């Protein structure tokens, strides 16, 4: 809450929001505090107006995108799914679980059995009623490796999915206190019969019905008049236009051809915000840019050398120059304050050349150039960031050699293969998922080749711990270990930067993802 207020004040300084809007929002925060829920900021303001055709320009869509929600892997296919489909639950902007197709979620004390009470009276776009069987079939389809679902990983710990009256009961092999968060995965859209009849039918329970779809070009939707949730879907029609060229995207917004765009480039964000009728909205997310070292490969198997490199990077300079200020500094862990149970007390690692030199000397490294592989495909500005890193490391007497790699094939030939390279992580809704995906010694994507039994044990212990205070303490230990000993250098977390015209009202930032977590068309309306 305090951070939100601070951010609002900042924005007034930057003249990005009006005084009236500030008062409205602070009022909304007050109300939120009184009710103890995070669900209301938008609805506490003026009553939404119905009508109009919303046009959204999206970067990150391709001709190859499929409608199957399991295969959604880019901003466009993600946005498409958000229009027509619903998951069981959703993670709110403040990191709480919000009920969607499941009215409530309850787990046992061990976190091994989870019961989802399925909302009754919900209709699919084809008129059929939502049943527990549909939910079970959906979850089972994504648990099947043959579906190639992007959610296959989050479904792996599940041993049984069954219907029980109006409930769906999910049983796990081992306790996982985060299961409700995992079920909010955007791939897990409930489809009639789990989508087994036609995975690409795009029939769901969402606020808008799909009318036409041309992958990589254009999607059109019309309002679902039978929507179970009457508090959303304020437009008569929604059109998604795929505009991959960043300049084309911002000029489409400026010329009024679209009302919203995603992925505003940091270097033009401030300029764009100055054009008449355009508002730029940024929110700090969980995505972060990293330089990763393989802890099992010389010279990175030496803790002092890893620390030397961590002290030799100037994080603030990177945020200022690579992200143009649209981001926050990292602390060599993949977690920041947008995660639930984040430990704020973990000390921020400073840019300290003296310590860098000290650790470099202690490492006994022979002084030969340390090769850092980069490509702009790793993250936007990666090559420039590596050059900054090289300069600051040189001041500490650490010789870095930058090797530029082609974007093409970067993820197959360099990332997770070469011992030191640039990379990007989009973040996960909860800490466990982030650590389990990329830092457990057993993870396929353990891209720092970190192997520490104590660290692994703490993560597994935290996963099944249902006592929040204890859990936070465990994650704090995990963070301290990784910060001190791990192979990840995390200089910065990037903001999601979207923009919309002044016709659109009701915009709320959501750290989960760009475009208000994908709900921009559901929750905003035309003034």
Q: Which is nearer to another protein, 115 or 441 (CB)?
A: 441
Nearest to 332 by CA among 345, 347, 353: 347
Cβ proximity of 457 and 435 under 8 Å:
no
Q: Residue 351 or 435: which CB sits closer to another protein?
A: 435
| Sequence-ordered list of residues with C-beta below 8 angstroms from that of 286, at least 6 positions apart, any chain | 336, 338, 339, 426, 427, 428, 429, 434, 493, 511, 512
Q: How far is the CB of 418 from another protein (least distance, A)?
A: 14
**What is the closest distance, in whole angstroms, from the C-beta atom of residue 349 to another protein in the complex?**
27
- Rounded to an integer, what distance in angstroms lies between the CA atom of residue 370 and that of residue 378? 19
Closest separation between CB of residue 211 and another protein, Å?
9
Runs of H (alpha helix) within 335-467 = 353-363, 382-395, 410-413, 431-438, 453-464
Q: Distance (Å, rounded) from C-alpha 502 to C-alpha 256? A: 10
24/244 with CB nearer another protein: 244
Chain centroid to Cα 510, Å, comes to 9
Closer to another protein at the Cβ: 105 or 246?
A: 246
In the complex, what is the shortest distance from the CB of residue 186 to another protein, in angstroms, rounded to a whole number? 15
Min dist. Cβ of residue 55 to another protein (A)? 9
Closest approach, Cβ 275 to another protein, in A, equals 8
Q: How far apart are CA 205 and CA 82, in angstroms?
A: 10
C-beta of 102: minimal distance to another protein in Å? 27
Dist. CA 411–CA 298, nearest whole Å: 22
Q: Which is nearer to another protein, 179 or 438 (CB)?
A: 438
Nearer to another protein among residue 150 and residue 381 (C-beta):
150
For another protein, which is the closer residue by CB, 30 or 406? 406
CA angle 156, 207, 190 (to 5 degrees): 25
Judged by DSSP in three states, 490 sits in strand
Q: How far is the CB of 191 from another protein (least distance, A)?
A: 17
Residue 464 CA, distance from chain mean position: 23
Task: Give which of 239, 263, 226, 111 is closest to 178, Cα–Cα.
Answer: 111
Residue number, 446 or 476, with CB nearest to another protein: 446
Site residues (vs another protein, CB under 8 A): 57, 62-66, 71, 73, 145, 148, 150, 212, 214-218, 220, 241-245, 247-248, 251-252, 254-258, 408-409, 411-413, 415, 444-445
């Amino acid at each position: 809450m305090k951070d939100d207020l601070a951010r609002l004040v900042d924005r007034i300084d930057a003249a990005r929001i009006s005084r009236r809007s500030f008062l409205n929002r602070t009022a909304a925060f007050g109300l939120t505090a009184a009710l103890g829920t995070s669900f209301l900021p938008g609805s506490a303001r003026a009553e939404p107006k119905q009508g109009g055709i919303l046009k959204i320009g999206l970067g990150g869509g391709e001709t190859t995108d499929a409608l199957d929600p399991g295969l959604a892997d880019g901003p466009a296919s993600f946005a498409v799914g958000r229009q027509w489909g619903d998951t069981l639950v959703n993670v709110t902007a403040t990191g709480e679980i919000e009920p969607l197709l499941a009215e409530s979620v309850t787990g046992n004390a061990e976190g091994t059995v989870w019961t989802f009470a399925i909302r009754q009276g919900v209709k699919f776009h084809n008129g059929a009623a939502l049943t527990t069987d549909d939910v079970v079939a959906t979850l089972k389809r994504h648990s099947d490796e043959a579906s190639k679902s992007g959610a296959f990983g989050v479904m792996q710990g599940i041993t049984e999915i069954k219907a029980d009256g109006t409930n769906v009961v999910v049983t796990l092999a081992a306790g996982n206190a985060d299961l409700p968060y995992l079920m909010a995965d955007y791939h897990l859209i409930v489809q009639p019969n789990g989508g087994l009849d036609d995975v690409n039918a795009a029939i769901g329970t969402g606020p808008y019905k799909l009318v036409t779809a041309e992958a990589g070009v254009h999607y059109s939707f019309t309002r679902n008049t039978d929507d179970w949730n009457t508090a959303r879907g304020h437009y008569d029609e929604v059109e998604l236009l795929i505009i991959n060229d960043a300049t084309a995207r911002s000029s489409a917004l400026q010329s009024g051809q679209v009302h919203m765009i995603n992925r505003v480039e940091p270097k033009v964000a401030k300029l764009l915000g100055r054009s008449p009728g355009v508002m730029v909205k940024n929110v700090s997310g969980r995505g972060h840019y990293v330089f990763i070292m393989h802890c099992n490969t010389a010279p990175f198997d030496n803790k002092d050398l890893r620390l030397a490199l961590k002290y030799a990077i100037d994080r603030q300079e990177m945020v200022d120059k690579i992200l143009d200020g649209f981001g926050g500094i990292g602390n060599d862990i993949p977690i920041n304050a947008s995660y639930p149970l984040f430990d704020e007390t973990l000390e921020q690692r400073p840019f300290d050349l003296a310590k860098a030199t000290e650790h470099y000397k202690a490492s006994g490294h022979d002084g030969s150039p340390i090769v850092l592989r980069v490509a702009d495909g790793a993250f936007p500005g990666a090559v420039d960031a590596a050059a900054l890193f090289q300069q600051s490391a040189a001041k500490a007497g650490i010789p870095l050699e930058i090797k530029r790699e082609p974007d093409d094939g970067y993820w197959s030939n360099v990332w997770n293969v070469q011992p030191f390279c640039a990379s990007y992580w989009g973040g996960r809704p909860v800490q466990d998922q982030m650590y389990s995906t990329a830092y457990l010694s057993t993870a396929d994507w353990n891209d720092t080749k970190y192997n520490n039994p104590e660290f692994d044990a703490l993560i597994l212990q935290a996963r099944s711990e249902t006592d929040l205070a204890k859990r936070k303490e465990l994650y704090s230990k995990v963070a301290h270990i990784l910060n001190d000993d791990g192979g990840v250098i995390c200089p910065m977390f990037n903001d999601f930067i979207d923009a919309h015209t002044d016709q659109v009202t009701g915009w709320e930032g959501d750290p989960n993802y760009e475009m208000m977590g994908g709900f921009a068309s559901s929750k905003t309306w035309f003034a």
